[in-house]
Structure 1
Amino acid sequence: MGWGDLSKDEWDRLKPHLPANGRQGGRWASHRRVINGILYRARTGVPWRDLPPRFGPWTTVYDRHRRWCADGTWERILTSLQAEADAEGRLDWSLASVDSTSCRAHQHAAGARKETPTNPPKRGIPARHRSDEGLGRSRGGLTTKIHLACEGGRRPLALLVTPGQTGDSTQFEAVMERIRVPRPGGGRPRTRPDHVTADKAYSARRIRAYLRRRAISHTIPEPRDQRANRLRRGSRGGRPTGFDKETYKRRNEVERTIHRLKGFRAVATRYDKRAYVFHGTVTVASIRLWLRR
């Protein structure tokens, strides 16, 4: 086992959630060796062709990663690990935090083949496909934004990849709707944390109404201009928003989660051309966080 590879304990917890060792036309190569190669690339950000020989042919490692990004296998593994943690009481539903982070896109992330209705993807439409490939332009150049919700244990519950210029508040509901943790005894999956925190970028009537409709309490600070506008309108401005300073202190949990995700260099800087492949890379990093005790 090399440095950064899956430990025996991590492998024992991951193995039951992997696809069956068989596919059309032959058998999968060693899952453990290939996944260690995928984790190595996510951690270091090296080009696929520069993977060390101990992981086997780089084409095998890359093809496994791309396939599992396209068919949603990585997301199913992440959901299974979350359900297992919930069954063991290791998932903190008392508070969830929502935030986003921008990732600089490397020049190799640009130039993907344009896909339109008249020029569809060669292998069919993959999971989490985006026609804009999740790339946007800002002063710093090409950027991608990761929107995510994390639980109290500083591990991602749901994530979403968009172009870098996308506003945070516009993706809040989409991120919350992706929180789905199956229950071990069957039935409807759990989708609602007890409390949600977010920063001023998410202070909007639509978001507060959405959380009230779902019976989720929240702590979101009100910006100064919104407060002044509400006071100016008098009784028509509505009631003041509740705010608990002590609860808001726990918003650092999502910042620390982002810090842990960006410890993977292939997440901090996007090298993948396709949005669904980058989404899979972020999911792989999230899986590693859930495997750690």
Structure 2
Amino acid sequence: MMSGDRFWLTDAQFARLEPYLPRDTRGKPRVDDRRVISGIVHVLKSGGRWIDAPPEYGPRKTLYNRFVRWAAKGIWTDLFHALASAGGPPAQVLIDSSAVKAHRSASGGKGGRAVRRSAARGAGARPKSMR
């Protein structure tokens, strides 16, 4: 859910994520997961720096540390796979295709305009050297 230019997980969105979040925390209680995940998504969507995250998401260092630690543990990947497979196969699939012009030498072959004889034509031709 977007509020102005801020991103916040809805109750339904967080309810889908919550079962996949780590529960093996030690020490002092974690900062609110919903708030921190919303802040992480906001930073990633906006393309901004962690230090520029709005203060209502909590400590900026917490956003960064949680993102990095969960990435190292594979939690983000697990979340993605769980959510992607939850709905089953998609009813529609979109394939995006782009046509890009490339320079004639972009394929790595020899460039130039010289006309070269085909190897197939040359195979039936008379040998150029004597045996």
In which range does the TM-score fall when normalised by the shorter chain?
0.5 to 0.7
Secondary structure, aligned partner of 1:46:
coil
- Counterpart in the other structure of 2:35: 33
Secondary structure, aligned partner of 1:64:
helix
Structure 2 unaligned residues grouped into runs of 5+: 99-118, 121-131
- C-alpha separation between the residues in 2 aligned to 1:199 and 1:57? 41
Secondary structure, aligned partner of 1:61:
helix
CA deviation profile, 1:133-153 (whole Å, cap 9, x unmatched): xxxxxxxxxxxxxxxxxx72x
Matched, 1:72 2:74: yes
**Given the superposition, is the C-alpha separation of residues 85 and 52 from structure 1 closer, same or farther in structure 2, using an over 3 Å criterion?**
same
**Given the superposition, is the C-alpha separation of residues 199 and 29 from structure 1 closer, same or farther in structure 2, using an over 3 Å criterion?**
same
- Counterpart in the other structure of 2:15: 12
- C-alpha separation between the residues in 1 aligned to 2:65 and 2:20? 19
Aligned-residue offset at 1:56: 0.9
Aligned letter for 1:46? G
Secondary structure, aligned partner of 1:39:
helix
- C-alpha separation between the residues in 2 aligned to 1:70 and 1:64? 10
Secondary structure, aligned partner of 1:19:
coil
RMSD value, Cα = 2.9
| Correspondences of 1:23-172 after superposition (within 5 Å) | 23-86=25-88, 91-92=89-90, 152=93
CA deviation profile, 1:92-130 (whole Å, cap 9, x unmatched): 2x8xxxxxxxxxxxxxxxxxxxxxxxxxxxxxxxxxxxx
- C-alpha separation between the residues in 1 aligned to 2:68 and 2:29? 17
Aligned letter for 1:61? L
Q: What TM-score do you get using the length of structure 2 for normalisation?
A: 0.62
- C-alpha separation between the residues in 2 aligned to 1:32 and 1:198? 33
- C-alpha separation between the residues in 2 aligned to 1:42 and 1:82? 19
Aligned letter for 1:13? R
Find the structure with the greater CA-based Rg: 2
- C-alpha separation between the residues in 2 aligned to 1:16 and 1:77? 9
**Identical amino acids, percent of aligned pairs:** 31
CA deviation profile, 1:61-85 (whole Å, cap 9, x unmatched): 1000001111111001111112321
Aligned residues: 98
Q: What TM-score do you get using the length of structure 1 for normalisation?
A: 0.30
Secondary structure, aligned partner of 2:87:
helix
The structure with the largest strand share of the pair is 1
- C-alpha separation between the residues in 2 aligned to 1:12 and 1:38? 17
- Counterpart in the other structure of 2:105: none
- Counterpart in the other structure of 1:113: none
- C-alpha separation between the residues in 1 aligned to 2:16 and 2:27? 28
